Structure 1
């Protein structure tokens, strides 16, 4: 096992599968700038690591896979222009780092907001029964732009619209996520990682050139629409987000509202 400050990386040379674990359980595996940089560096290192032919991605603990960007530990000054934006999560995924080895995500607990930057660049998702998915952006006065674009490649329009517009008021269950295509397999709670590792090991046994070529072909089918949506996203975020102090006020009240949601 190799240890990074906020990541655990286990390589199984017998199967050719690496298990990558987001390791910030006290922050529900939220992503700060340090973890964002670690992820980008790790994906790029896998490009030249022939011992790794497939990857499983998960988060430490049962409460959350990832809860998106860590607002308490991440401050990124933004340009004062609707034409420019600095988003630290844009480079946390494997495809953003030119890695075409397949990634199988294993979700236990919550996956929300910026977690979709990772799930959107995984080949498929395995989830425990109690896993939930939601995007709270609108609740806190923010535009769901990149998340919406990534989710739209995985689910029907109406399901994406419901998730991103309902914000923190509603969570999608693992079963519903399976029904609409976001999740490809539902396991018993605590079983997602084992199942994802098994699927990744099967893929890793196939000739790597064929696997990577297939991943690249699949991604190409989505890339044009995604590129157009991502090009528009900075303008929508800059124009539609509330000022930071107003967002902070909404976030300040989240503790008393935390239980006010339904799961479907």
Structure 2
């Protein structure tokens, strides 16, 4: 079934696998606010649906998996510089307390806010033509949540390179496989079928064992992830501040006493 917001959900009770498709190909499967909200609701619904034992997340078409938040979306922000409303913080399965395995089938571009989703999947399969990149710095924006998510999956230098190179460089599916972001590269348009086959295997195993293993794997990195995520909103707020405010902040630092090591 496809919702008005562009999310398609298919369940196969026989195999225990659900396929969630971001169905906005005309917008490169970018997330508007309605789709982001529906995605969160979808994960929460799966928590109570015992017929769903594993999930595949993909995008419609072959051009894009997800390109983050729709740039046409208007996100109201509170006046306080200490608060930032980010609709993508709640689009992932783990953010919605879903501990059933979720596999990402990346069938094209995955960039920017797509990493909120990829970062909360158990593992990633990619089509040969898939690419990964983070455009934030190109447009004068801080890559914070995205970089944190990828730092949990890729070597430090690879994360730094992708985040800093912006739109000037794209990581190929093969390179993503080499650095550990992707677990399998699939020829042609077969990435969804390959992901479904893997999900069917996982779904066929005892549910308690599978979900307990998912929880155990995530517990190994929760502390570092939580600490890093806590810094993200402050970095974003500073990076997005008007130039005049940034200049005033740095000027006040220059007028103050120098740092000393005690």
TM-score, reference length from structure 2: 0.90
- Per the alignment, in what secondary structure is the counterpart of residue 129 of structure 2? coil
Displacement of 1:109 in angstroms is: 1.0
Corresponding residue of 1:232 = 231
Displacement of 1:83 in angstroms is: 2.1
**Structure 2 counterparts to residues 75-114 of structure 1, below 5 A:** 75-114=74-113
**Structure 2 counterparts to residues 189-200 of structure 1, below 5 A:** 189-200=188-199
**Structure 2 counterparts to residues 123-162 of structure 1, below 5 A:** 123-162=122-161
8 Å Cα contact 1:65/1:110 also seen in 2: yes
CA offsets, 1:17-47, max 9 Å, x none?
0011000011000001000100000000000
Alpha-carbon distance between aligned partners in 2 of 1:209 and 1:243, rounded to the nearest angstrom: 50
Shift in CA distance, 82/228, structure 1 to aligned 2, threshold 3 Å: farther
8 Å Cα contact 1:82/1:234 also seen in 2: no
Displacement of 1:11 in angstroms is: 0.7
Corresponding residue of 2:121 = 122
Corresponding residue of 1:3 = 2
Corresponding residue of 1:204 = 203
Displacement of 1:191 in angstroms is: 1.0
Q: Give the paired residue count.
A: 242
Select between 122-131 and 77-86 the one with higher mean Cα deviation.
77-86
Corresponding residue of 2:24 = 24
**Structure 2 counterparts to residues 65-76 of structure 1, below 5 A:** 65-72=65-72, 74-76=73-75
Alpha-carbon distance between aligned partners in 2 of 1:66 and 1:223, rounded to the nearest angstrom: 25
- Per the alignment, in what secondary structure is the counterpart of residue 89 of structure 2? coil
- Per the alignment, in what secondary structure is the counterpart of residue 71 of structure 2? coil
CA offsets, 1:29-86, max 9 Å, x none?
00010001000000000001011000000000010000001011x1112234442111
8 Å Cα contact 1:62/1:108 also seen in 2: yes
- Per the alignment, in what secondary structure is the counterpart of residue 90 of structure 1? helix
Shift in CA distance, 98/170, structure 1 to aligned 2, threshold 3 Å: same
Corresponding residue of 1:166 = 165
Shift in CA distance, 21/243, structure 1 to aligned 2, threshold 3 Å: farther
Alpha-carbon distance between aligned partners in 1 of 2:166 and 2:80, rounded to the nearest angstrom: 26
CA offsets, 1:174-213, max 9 Å, x none?
0000000000000002111000000000000111111111
Displacement of 1:241 in angstroms is: 2.2
Q: Which runs of 5+ in 1 are unaligned?
A: 245-264
CA offsets, 1:87-146, max 9 Å, x none?
000000000000000000001110000000000000000000010000000001110000
Displacement of 1:242 in angstroms is: 5.6
Alpha-carbon distance between aligned partners in 1 of 2:26 and 2:161, rounded to the nearest angstrom: 30
Q: Which runs of 5+ in 2 are unaligned?
A: 244-262
Displacement of 1:222 in angstroms is: 1.4
8 Å Cα contact 1:142/1:242 also seen in 2: no
CA RMSD of aligned residues (A): 1.2
